[in-house]
Amino acid sequence: MKKIKLLGLLGLLGILGPLAQAQNTDRGFEIAKNLEIFSSVYKQLNQNYVDDVDPGKTIKVAIDAMLASMDPYTNYFPESDIEDVKLQLMGEYGGVGALIMQRGDSIYISEPYKGLPADEAGLKAGDRIVAVNGESTRGKKTPDVSSAMRGQAGTQVTLTVEREGKEFERTLTRREIKLPNVPYSGFVGEKEDVGYIKLDEFTTDAAKNVREAFVRLKKENPNMRGIILDFRGNGGGLMNEAVDIVNIWVPRGTLVVETKGKVAAKNLKSYTRFQPEDTEIPLAVIIDGSSASASEIVSGSLQDLDRAVIIGQRSYGKGLVQNILPMPYNSQMKVTVSKYYIPSGRCIQAIDYSHRDENGRAIKVPDSLKTAFKTKAGRTVYDGFGIEPDIEVEPEYMSNLGMVLAQKFFVFDYATLYYRSHKEIAPAKEFEISGEMYADFGRFLKEKNLNYNTVTERYIKDLREVAKQEKYDEAIEQQLKEMEARLATEKDGDLQKHREEVCEMLKAEILNRYYYDAGRLAGALKTDKVILRAIDELKK
């Protein structure tokens, strides 16, 4: 009997072996065939198309279209875009250290980074960049001007800048700009007894900087009652930094994340490697819909290990891992090589890019395919849609008035004028918008074109059009006019109705002028509803 089974198995292997080899041969033939077709298409295009064909541009378009059929994270970078790759991965680039923005046909500095070339040269938010190295910026887009300002560290760039109607030049020496991944850390709460650490990106040294911030806070207040980690808006970054951040608060040898993909050699389990700083202090992690990738590794693993309470809104749901692969001629390609799984065994990827609807759009994992998993303490968690917070706090949405004030740069311009006429203000945590300041902002707006439509006004307009089509317009026109008149009266009071929101916008922009990004963050802490909720939970 055993001999018959063995012969049967050998016979089956004899059939499957050639079949597998044939499948590999067929696949190899298909690849070779289609590459030959592509080469022929380009050759004929180059020889016969009515205009000259730019080979770099044309092939880049073809590559981008091919990669777009995979997922949004698999990208090709020519040599000219390598600075952008460095910025994504390491938070570094060669430049002058300033954010810029477009307003109409002009480019303005929106924020110089503290202590970097633009700041040291005296450039301020609100300055208009007239030219870069003598070339006018008029009509150019932000990426074009940004690219011209960037370059190899040690090289120089000359900016022609206009401020209050006067032009001047500044020649700046570019540096290797490294953006701070921990822009702010400090204490929150009425008694200043809860630590707070804001992490913007999981770039190089993120774990080192978070650990140093925690150690400093603990040293300043040994009786600290808890720590808040703020990952809102954090799109992720390096996986090893995420693992090492978890390690700050969990024992060495703890599984944090596992990657699984097609290439077995790229599959790995990542464990904590060091002695933790504190395994007892209560932790709260704040996330939102923009918290992705490494942010979800940290928040999800701390949730699975029952080491932290997760507060905020459901995270983005990016459970895909990318590797940077070298390509010819100093180009690079970022390729999705695996998915990651956190300690409970769940994958948090929310979108299935291997299946698409009739319009070619990737689909979200349906509820029917979501699987339940258990945390270390036995709580039920699910895969397939990011990290769901333990305590959900509804997001606050900007009012129509707030959006108009931001989009038309009214808050930005008022902050610019205020900064130019006030040498100093109160410390960031103490600064508030006074009644006189708010009244002054109201006077400032009266000189501007503050026209905007509310959602209600848009509905009235739609109702009028539908009524006209159905021939009810004459019957209800008088009521519609009365509604519009009443609404106009109500809109006149919007500045008072939304005073709290507008004051926060003004405070953030003004603090940014005096104390940079750290000041803006510090000033928002005592009124941030999600942080206040986190403080309450840590006290329980």
Flag whether pLDDT at 412 surpasses 90.
yes
Flag whether pLDDT at 49 surpasses 80.
yes
How many residues belong to the chain? Answer: 540
pTM, rounded to two decimals: 0.85
Q: With contact defined as beta carbons under 8 Å apart, do 341 and 257 qualify?
A: yes
Flag whether pLDDT at 252 surpasses 70.
yes
- Pick the more confident residue, 492 or 352: 352
pLDDT in tens, 124-151: 999 999 999 999 999 999 999 999 999 8
- DSSP class of residue 192 equals T
Flag whether pLDDT at 528 surpasses 80.
yes
Residue 140 to residue 148: CA distance in whole angstroms: 11
Mean pLDDT of the 467-489 span: 84
401 band by pLDDT with thresholds 50, 70 and 90: very high
Residue 530 to residue 535: CA distance in whole angstroms: 9
Flag whether pLDDT at 89 surpasses 70.
no
Flag whether pLDDT at 299 surpasses 70.
yes
pLDDT of residue 458: 83
Q: Give residues with Cβ within 8 angstroms of 498, minimum separation 6.
A: 399, 401, 402
pLDDT of residue 91: 62
Residue 194 to residue 282: CA distance in whole angstroms: 10
Mean pLDDT of the 434-439 span: 96
pLDDT of residue 461: 86
pLDDT of residue 534: 97
pLDDT of residue 3: 43
pLDDT of residue 367: 73
pLDDT in tens, 61-78: 998 999 988 899 999 988
Cα separations (Å) of 302 from 285, 295, 537? Answer: 9, 11, 16
pLDDT of residue 24: 62
pLDDT in tens, 215-225: 999 999 999 99
The H-assigned helical ranges of 356-493 are: 400-407, 410-421, 435-446, 455-469, 473-491
169 band by pLDDT with thresholds 50, 70 and 90: very high
Which residue is it, tokens 């507060």?
Answer: 311
pLDDT of residue 127: 98
Structure tokens at 482: 């009365």
Please give the angle made by the CA atoms of 127, 131 and 133, to the nearest 5 degrees.
125
Flag whether pLDDT at 490 surpasses 90.
no
pLDDT of residue 5: 42
